[in-house]
């Protein structure tokens, strides 16, 4: 069974940076696409970024393009989300997730518990 644990969230001022980490255990990490999502209470969860198994391909939601970078270290079974130039509207609970396929229609079967990111203005 896959187990995902996020860390690195916190409170930051607008314009600041945070790096989220997500550790993966239970299966072979480099067989999975890894994605980041976020959710604000009362709103639907939204896609943020994803990275293919090898790390060679990434894609991002438009609101974070140019500010966020997703990466992975397959030797450490960890995926990262570097978030720069943070804005108050980035405030959300951030989740990492794992999928067996890659692309906009990938089905994410495994989810972490989430980490809160709060950006103050």
What does the alpha-carbon distance between residue 74 and residue 51 come to, in Å, rounded to a whole number? 12
- pLDDT of amino acid 10: 97
For tokens 């069974």, what's the residue?
1
Give the containing element (helix H, strand E) for 116. Answer: strand 115-120
Share of the chain above pLDDT 70, in %: 100
Dihedral-angle region of residue 108 (phi above 0 means left; psi in -120 to 50 means alpha; beta otherwise)? beta
How confident is the model over 7-39, as pLDDT tens digits? 999 999 999 999 999 999 999 999 999 999 999
Mean pLDDT score, 34-56: 96
**In contact, 121 and 112? CB cutoff 8 Å:** no
């Amino acid at each position: 069974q896959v187990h995902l644990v996020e860390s690195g969230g916190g409170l930051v001022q607008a314009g600041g940076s945070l790096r989220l980490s997500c550790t993966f255990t239970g299966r072979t990490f480099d067989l999975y696409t890894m994605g980041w999502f976020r959710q604000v209470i009362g709103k639907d969860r939204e896609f943020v970024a994803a990275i293919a198994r090898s790390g060679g391909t990434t894609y991002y939601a438009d609101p974070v393009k140019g500010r966020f970078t997703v990466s992975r270290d397959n030797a450490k079974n960890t995926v990262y989300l570097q978030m720069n130039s943070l804005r108050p509207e980035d405030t959300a609970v951030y989740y990492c997730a794992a999928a067996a396929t890659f692309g906009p229609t990938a089905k994410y079967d495994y989810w972490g518990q989430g980490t809160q990111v709060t950006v103050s203005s």
